[in-house]
Structures are given as structure tokens and as C-alpha cells.
Amino acid sequence: MSSYEKTCLIRGDGGRAIRGILDRIGDKWTLLVVATLDGERMRFTELQQRIPGISQRMLTRTLRQLERDGLVEREVFAEVPPRVEYALTSTGSTLIEPAVALAEWAIEQNPAIERSQGDYDARQG
């Protein structure tokens, strides 16, 4: 039995919790937003400038979901014009280490994965 299977059996939820979290952090933008906020407080426009390719709509949706999940906090300052800053919560900060490990794995394994994809595609067509 794999470690994943043991974890799912111990929790007794058939992996629902794990799938839910992987759904959240495994999307296209979440880890980039979390990594960008690592150790910093930022305004929306600064975040958008530092994450190439993210639209205003996707950044808004991602930040709202991360806030809902308790990974990001949103602070509104009573100024004119209003100022809003985002930062990782203590829970959000715990995601940095596994995210970096995953990013390093992806960079390290990418050449082998691309070779495998090329080999597979050549066999298929």
C-alpha cells in the first residue's frame, strides 16, 4: 500500500481532503501568488506586475480563494483613495517549503519529461 493510500485510509475520507487541497494549490496561479507574497505585503497592482501573464480577473479570483482558505490576509486601509494590501498568513507561509521543493523537482525533471513526451508522440504519429 502506498503512502498516499495509507494517508487516505487513516483519514477515512477516501482522499477527499487531499484532492481538495491539491485542487486549490495545483491551479495555474495559486503557487505563483503565494511565492510572490513570500515575506512581503503587496498591493494588488504590484502583485499583478510581478506575476507575468496573470489577468486582473484571475488575480482577483485567486486572492479571494486564498483569503477564503486562510492562506492570504487582505488588509484595507482607510485612506483616500483606499489602499489594500495582501500578505501570507502563518498557514500560507507553511506552503512555501513544499512549493519550492515541487518547483525544484519540476525544473530538474523537465528535460526527462520533455524527452518522454517526444518519444511518446513519435510512437503515436
Query: pLDDT by residue for the chain (125 residues), tens digit each?
Result: 787 677 666 666 777 777 888 888 888 899 999 999 999 999 999 999 999 999 999 999 999 999 999 999 999 999 888 899 999 999 999 999 998 898 899 999 999 999 999 999 999 98
Which domains does the chain show, CATH number per domain?
3-94 (1.10.10.10)
Q: What is the pLDDT of residue 58?
A: 97
Tell me, yes or no, if the pTM score tops 0.75.
yes
Sheet holding 72-77, edge to edge: 42-43, 83-88, 72-77
Q: What is the pLDDT of residue 23?
A: 85
Q: What is the DSSP string of 7-53?
A: HHHHHTSTTHHHHHHHHHHTSSSHHHHHHHHTT--EEHHHHHHHSTT
